[in-house]
Structure 1
Amino acid sequence: MERLTTRITMRLMTGDERSRDLDVDWSYRDDEPHAAQLDFTSYQADAVWSLSRDLLLAGLHAPAGEGDVHVTPFDDARVLIALAGTEGVALLAAPAAAVAGFLAETVRLVPPGQEHDRIDWDGGLQALLAA
């Protein structure tokens, strides 16, 4: 298993003086090829979001997402990510170049369309049946 981890500083947009920068650990594992994790636990316990890699890739170029997660380019330098939870919606701005660089590394590990080759289907089925 290969794992990528990078820290990206994201701006929590609150519309007032409480807006602040958050250092968020982005990670990706080749054995979970459809998702990237954003780890906010240094700010709130158990705050790890698992986001679709395809959604993040699409959101770099055009608005994407349904339900709890939306990603959209904001300007030439930033991408916005909206995360809806029980406490409301967090709107975060991230440097588009940093997000694109992270996603390029995930594509290097697991090219789009080859995700199914990395999933342990037998192990997942055994875990499901054992539950």
Structure 2
Amino acid sequence: MPAETVVEQAVRTRMVASAPRMETVPATLRYDRQDPFAVHMTFPAPATLAGVAVSWTFSRDLLQAGVSAPAGLGDVRIRPYGYDRTVLEFHAFEGVAMVHLHTAELRRFLKRTETLVPCGFEHLHLDLDQDVADLLRGW
């Protein structure tokens, strides 16, 4: 049986809006051993203002740090909220989207990613020769 190379986990998020009631929005967290530093979070088309699926990519380290303390200075910022929630902020030209997730779901996802690639060993899963070949293709 081949070794697992991708972790995907469906999560329920709560979209923070100006209205008092937060809308529940589905999303998918994805981690691929071939891109060992990155986490991808995808929101389906019906959950976005533009009506197209939107995917954000950010570092696994950022997600790990953000479940315990505020982290991030750029387009993605993560921080704990209360005792059981984590807030992810996605900053774009169009504005800021904020979603709440259960911290336990994020921790479960992170634990699963660490079974594929332990923290600190990401560099062992990079294919630098292929990356250089991809960069030079077409020159």
Task: Specify the alignment match of 1:38 in structure 2.
Answer: 41
Shift of 1:33: 0.6
Q: What TM-score, normalized by structure 2, do the two folds share?
A: 0.89
Q: 1: distance between equivalents of 2:21 and 2:69?
A: 28
What does residue range 1-131 of structure 1 map to in structure 2 within 5 Å?
A: 2-17=5-20, 19-42=22-45, 43-44=47-48, 45-131=52-138
Which 4+ runs in 1 deviate beyond 4 A?
none
Once structures 1 and 2 are overlaid, which stretch shifts more, 10-19 or 45-54?
A: 10-19
- Please, which runs of 5 or more residues in structure 1 have no aligned partner? none
Q: Which has the larger radius of gyration?
A: 2
Kept in 1: contact 2:78–2:88 (CA 8 A): yes
Q: What TM-score, normalized by structure 1, do the two folds share?
A: 0.94
SS of residue paired to 2:96: strand
Q: 2: distance between equivalents of 1:81 and 1:97?
A: 14
Identity value in percent: 31
Kept in 1: contact 2:26–2:44 (CA 8 A): no
CA RMSD of aligned residues (A): 1.3
